Structure 1
Amino acid sequence: MPLITISQDYGSHGYYVAQRVAQELQLELHDDETLRQAAVKMGVEKENLDALKEQVPGFFDRLMGYKPDVYLNVLQSVVYTMASKNNGVIVGHGSQLLLKDFGCALHIRIITPADKRIRYFIEEKGLDEEVATKLVQEKDQEFKNFFRYAFNMDINDPLLYDLVLNTDKIGIETLISHIIQLAQSNDISECSIDALAIMKCRALEMKIREKLIQSDVTTKGIKIKVTEPGNILIHGVVYDEVEQQRIRVVLDTIAELDDARVNIAVAPKDG
């Protein structure tokens, strides 16, 4: 059974679709809460869990020293870790882009015209028209801004998806049936052992980068190569012996590491 990523327009019932698809195919659903739980198990600091909110860090986050690279590394590490479990339904969080190069991942986008979504919030949620309109517009812009910030891409780019479904033209039950049928078809294969290994390697690399940045290590001059799950080669140049030592301390805290070859030089002082 393949990996399935599902992203949606806000208010297009994409989360319900993801729940049903996961239930029908007996797959694990990776949503906001399960991703946060996974991040905690991976050792992500609680103050960095906001990386999973799919929001651009605000002015005060940056003012108070929030590090954008940490934000993105946490996000990628968690998504790759979940994907490396071999199957499941991942809701949002850039998974459609992070996993786009894996043939075993099926990427679904669920859309609904804005006026239909506004009407849903008015009739089903009891919001007045002004509030409903503002909610839909703000959420659409929020997700668009996040995707641009995180990946420098348009979340509505159809090339990111294998299937784009419009709930204005297709009923929810029919839509769910189409996704299940495609997921079970011969066109979508299971993830190979090599593909799962690559996901694990990417997850480990992002975790290491996040920990280094959190420890005030300048990573610009550092290359990290995960040769296989658990084994890394890290080399490059840092500014002083303190940073050099911090790298070794960080690596010692990462439980997934079996072997780390470190070749870090200290840049010579001017004069």
Structure 2
Amino acid sequence: MGLAAFTRELGSLGTFIAEELARRRGWRFVRREILEEAARMGPLTEDELTRLVESPPGLWERLSLPARRHFYHVAARVLEYAQGDDVVILGRWSTMLLRGVRHAVRVRVCAPLDLRVERLADRLGVSRPEARALAERYDQGVRARIRQFFDVEWEDSDLYDLVINTERVGVERGCELVERLLDSPEFQPDEASRQEVRDRALALRVQESLKSDERLGHVDLHVTARGGTVVLQGVVFGPEERRAVLEVVGAVSGVAQVEDRLTVARMPIR
């Protein structure tokens, strides 16, 4: 039993390593399903959500409410899959969303840009300049989204349990390295680590519901969960908004109790 999350540079062979790991262990490989299901939760298509994950945001989008709403649609689906045993998740911010989960092995796969360009050109049948543009555009997009939503640098090796450079490490050897961690005592699941994933999944579903409610999309709250108890912290503007928040949160599946630590601020009289 276990959980592996991958992020990879385009052309780094990261997809092949993740797929081969899932095949070797008989685990489920999850990638496209996340965006397919997230698209059903909101107005965006799967292609539009792909751009949300892989393309840099414009200035207006950085400031817009829909960007956060769509983020929670995707993030909540990632944690839903992470609750299952024996799953490999590729991309979709999974390595960021699972930081601190004991049994989640988080892997970044990279390679020198020139090598990735050669691989992409050969695999896709495009020119070297086209392949370079594809790789650089993808890297720029993922890097920008990680900054936007997590305020960290995608390339920071401290964020991962394992970084694989495929300039010298192939698919088979890469799988072996990941499997060593998956089988090590430090990464074995226990009830506490499984509960951590369930709690994060519930907190994200709550955030998703709040952002999806037309009355509350502008509200930014800090939400945590523990064993069905959801703790709400932050500022709401007026008693009616507070009641709306509690109503929405109480209706989320899995919420047994709501701990209200909200601060009610009153709009100034003009």
Distance 1:178 1:209 in 2: 36
Residue 89 of structure 2 aligns to a residue in which SS?
strand
2:94 maps to 95
Distance 2:131 2:143 in 1: 18
Distance 1:161 1:74 in 2: 24
2:24 maps to 24
* 77 and 130 in structure 1: CA distance in 2 versus 1, 3 angstrom threshold: same
* One-letter amino acid matched to 2:135: V
CA contact (8 A) 1:86 1:196 kept: no
2:148 maps to 149
Residue 213 of structure 1: how far off its partner (Å): 2.6
2:11 maps to 11
CA contact (8 A) 1:48 1:70 kept: no
Aligned residue-pair number: 264
* One-letter amino acid matched to 2:189: C
CA contact (8 A) 1:232 1:259 kept: yes
1:214 maps to 212
Summarize the alignment of residues 42-53 of structure 1 with structure 2, pairs less than 5 Å apart.
Answer: 44-47=41-44, 50=49, 53=53
CA contact (8 A) 2:16 2:171 kept: no
CA contact (8 A) 2:53 2:141 kept: no
Unaligned runs of 5+ in 2: none
Distance 2:265 2:127 in 1: 62
Unaligned runs of 5+ in 1: none
* One-letter amino acid matched to 1:171: G
Question: Which range moved further: 135-144 or 252-261?
Answer: 252-261
* 28 and 268 in structure 1: CA distance in 2 versus 1, 3 angstrom threshold: same
Residue 211 of structure 1: how far off its partner (Å): 1.8
1:70 maps to 69
Distance 1:248 1:48 in 2: 30
RMSD over aligned Cα, in angstroms?
Answer: 2.9
Residue 47 of structure 1: how far off its partner (Å): 2.9
Summarize the alignment of residues 122-161 of structure 1 with structure 2, pairs less than 5 Å apart.
Answer: 122-161=121-160
CA contact (8 A) 1:104 1:191 kept: yes
Residue 22 of structure 1: how far off its partner (Å): 0.7
Distance 2:192 2:120 in 1: 45
Residue 61 of structure 1: how far off its partner (Å): 4.9
* 60 and 69 in structure 1: CA distance in 2 versus 1, 3 angstrom threshold: closer
Residue 41 of structure 2 aligns to a residue in which SS?
coil
Distance 1:156 1:237 in 2: 34
Distance 1:125 1:223 in 2: 44
Distance 1:263 1:155 in 2: 33
* 233 and 167 in structure 1: CA distance in 2 versus 1, 3 angstrom threshold: closer
Summarize the alignment of residues 180-191 of structure 1 with structure 2, pairs less than 5 Å apart.
Answer: 180-184=179-183, 186-191=184-189
